[in-house]
Amino acid sequence: MEGPRADDFLEDGRVILLRQTPQVIGLHTIIRNKDCTREDFIFYSDRLIRLLIEEGLSLVPVVEKVVETPTGSAYKGVDFTTNKICGVSVVRAGESMETALREVCKAIRIGKILIQRDEETALPKMFYAKLPKDVEDRYVFLLDPMLATGGSAVMAINVLIDHGVPQSNVLFLNLIAAPEGIRCIRQQFPDVKIVTTAIDKQLNERKFIIPGIGDFGDKYFGTT
């Protein structure tokens, strides 16, 4: 039986897939190549992450604002500084996305959640969480490059909700998502938005994303 297509998840606007431009596909082609050097992997992953962060920022509400230009004319624009944003990275792979977030959001606060997956059971276990004190008043960019089973993401979202963050204020940003993980999050947190650069085919019997990319954190941080 044919598996779900990317379009199957995009109808209600809760899953946002970056437009599959030649640039996005080309970046994926480089970093997914098993022969990609670590230097290239970091450089081109960072480019892709930057595009992802910018897409996430476009989903945060804005208000109208009029400014005067140097010509003395009025420009009708928007103000995006009225809604506070913070990042929360799922350690360790999520930390690879922090630099891009800092580059586009000046003085942004970033929290950490440490969740590790048991390689035998594929089940997540949380070890640590440190969040901004006013996280409940912010839009939260939850950062983790891979969305596989969804177990770690569900645990991380539950941590945010336990700290008072509304589901609708959570944007889960990842580079590659499996259909199984998307379904898992949508079923449990229908108001959370998932923003990704790729929706892959499926998980294999070991719960790895196919075609996937391998262990993103090991490749990025050089611990393969």
User: Taking the domains of the chain in order of start, what are their residue ranges?
Assistant: 6-221
5 pLDDT more than 80:
no
149-185 pLDDT, tens digit per residue, is 999 999 999 999 999 999 999 999 999 999 999 999 9
Instruction: State the sign of the Cα–Cα–Cα–Cα dihedral 139, 141, 147, 150.
Output: negative
* Predicted pLDDT of residue 2: 46
Q: Which of 102, 117, 183, 186 is catalytic?
A: 117
Q: Which of 21, 37, 121, 224 is catalytic?
A: 121
- Residue 98 region by backbone torsions, left for phi larger than 0, else alpha for psi between -120 and 50, else beta: alpha
Answer yes or no: are the C-beta atoms of 160 and 185 closer than 8 Å.
no
**Among this protein's residues, is 46 annotated catalytic?**
no
> What pTM did the predictor assign?
0.91
**Among this protein's residues, is 82 annotated catalytic?**
no
Q: Terminal CA-to-CA distance of the chain, rounded, Å? A: 35
Segment 86-104 mean pLDDT: 95
Q: E-strand spans in the chain?
A: 15-17, 63-68, 74-79, 85-91, 109-117, 124-130, 139-143, 146-147, 170-174, 176-177, 193-196, 202-203, 209-210
Q: Which of 32, 46, 102, 215 is catalytic?
A: 215
Answer yes or no: are the C-beta atoms of 69 and 75 closer than 8 Å.
yes
**Under CATH, which number does the domain 6-221 receive?**
3.40.50.2020
pLDDT band at 1 (very low <50, low <70, confident <90, very high): very low
Tell how many helices (H) and how many strands (E) occur in the chain: 6, 13
**Among this protein's residues, is 215 annotated catalytic?**
yes
Q: Which amino acid is at 78?
A: V
Residues linked to residue 65 through DSSP beta bridges, in sequence order:
77
**Among this protein's residues, is 117 annotated catalytic?**
yes
- Pairing type for strands 193-196 and 15-17 reads parallel
